[in-house]
Chains A and B, each alone.
Chain A
């Protein structure tokens, strides 16, 4: 992101207030890493508005939230030498490049997925390519509508013994996220055919890390591993 030195205070405030477009916010986070003046402006802006954070009435934090946090912490070695650092902010210096490459990769995978599905007797209604925060393709979901859905994992996931990967979709805002099932195998899974409306173009699919047996609440509770939007197979 290019910006005038004189606009740094404006940018810092707008970033801190959350008034920026997501893509610009990511660029600012990357620029902060190399621009000390911007970093200082953001820090100063945070401090200015921090008293407003003290105006909320604290709630009682349950012990089970801590248990969930503790259960999903990466090991110490990951902290010392963070592998998981590839979050959106950290590689945002190459943000657009990464996005472009992932988009190309996603198209290729999508094409492969479509060819694969065309060569089979039953076609999925939609195919969704799931991408993680860093923009890497992680899995493909094929949704056949009411009968079943299928997920194919395209990356290695580090799933602790007491965890499982759960697949979700968002058929509509009113319904909220609905579980399509759990991934048992390493490579993929057949998912149960929940009674859902026909999958549509651009429907959201995502996979999260949940406790063994699936989310206790019936809604996603764990970290999102990857997500993507459906494309209708044509």
Chain B
């Protein structure tokens, strides 16, 4: 996996995109598209929707590259956030609903797997792993469901069978505990 290597190159590639250099966008595509499609697919489920998300995201990266500055975090974080946001927007448009019936059927295995897989593959040496591990199981699961699969408060509450108000407040507390742990 090429994550975390040549990070500075992404900065340079974005700067070149801002100047209208298509080869730089192609470079970002060659290096990141496979990962980004998979990331989007984890949220929107269907490969063709994931590709649509990535297509829109690359157009946005191209038109907004001039806005990227170091005070917006790493170039990778900025690019990945664009893909995540496009995928979440698509969910809000209700397009994942096509697969809701199937998803519900697969909930116990397929769905849990995505969250579990992300948790199991998370770098054990990372501080994030350590700090997530320090949370209760259910809080960790709630946070992973939100980040990994793009679930809303309501969906998390429904799936974990916890009242909505309670869900909101414990997710907020868990996020605060994570920040403290990672500080």
- The chain A residues found within 8 Å of chain B, CB to CB, are 9-10, 13-14, 16-19, 22, 36, 39-40, 42-44, 46-61, 65-66, 68-70, 72-74, 76, 78-80, 82, 84-85, 87, 173, 176, 217, 219-221, 223
Partner of B81, one of A36, A46, A80, A176: A46
Q: Which B residues form the contact surface with A (CB < 8 A)?
A: 1, 3-4, 17-18, 20, 22, 25-26, 29, 33-35, 37-39, 41-42, 47-48, 51-52, 54-56, 58-60, 62-66, 71-74, 76-78, 80-81, 84-85, 88-89, 92, 97-98, 100, 117-118, 121-123, 126, 128-129, 143-144, 146-148, 150, 152-153, 171-172, 175-176, 178-179, 182
A25 to chain B, nearest CB (A): 8
Would B146 and A17 count as touching, CB distance under 8 A? yes
Contacts of A46 on B, CB cut-off 8 Å? 73-74, 77-78, 80-81
A interface majority secondary structure: helix
B122 touches A73 (CB 8 A): no
Cα distance A220–B88 when bound, in Å? 18
Per a CB cutoff under 8 Å, which of A9, A55, A59 touches B176? A9
Indicate which residue in A14, A40, A42, A84 contacts B63 across the interface (CB closer than 8 Å): A84
Q: Which of chain B's residues has its CB closest to A29's CB? A: B85
A214 CB to closest chain B CB, in angstroms?
A: 16
Q: A46-B77, A173-B98 are in contact. Are A18 and B84 (CB under 8 A)?
A: yes
The answer to whether B55 touches A58, judged by C-beta atoms less than 8 angstroms apart, is no
A77 smallest CB distance to B (angstroms): 8
CB proximity of A12 to chain B, nearest CB, Å: 9
Given contact pairs A61-B34, A79-B62, A82-B63, a sample of 20 additional A-B residue pairs in the complex whose CB atoms are under 8 Å apart: A18-B88, A43-B71, A47-B77, A49-B147, A51-B123, A52-B118, A53-B3, A55-B117, A55-B118, A55-B121, A58-B35, A59-B37, A59-B47, A61-B33, A73-B22, A79-B18, A79-B63, A79-B66, A80-B66, A82-B64
Asked whether A59 lies within 8 Å of B41 as measured between CB atoms, the reply is yes
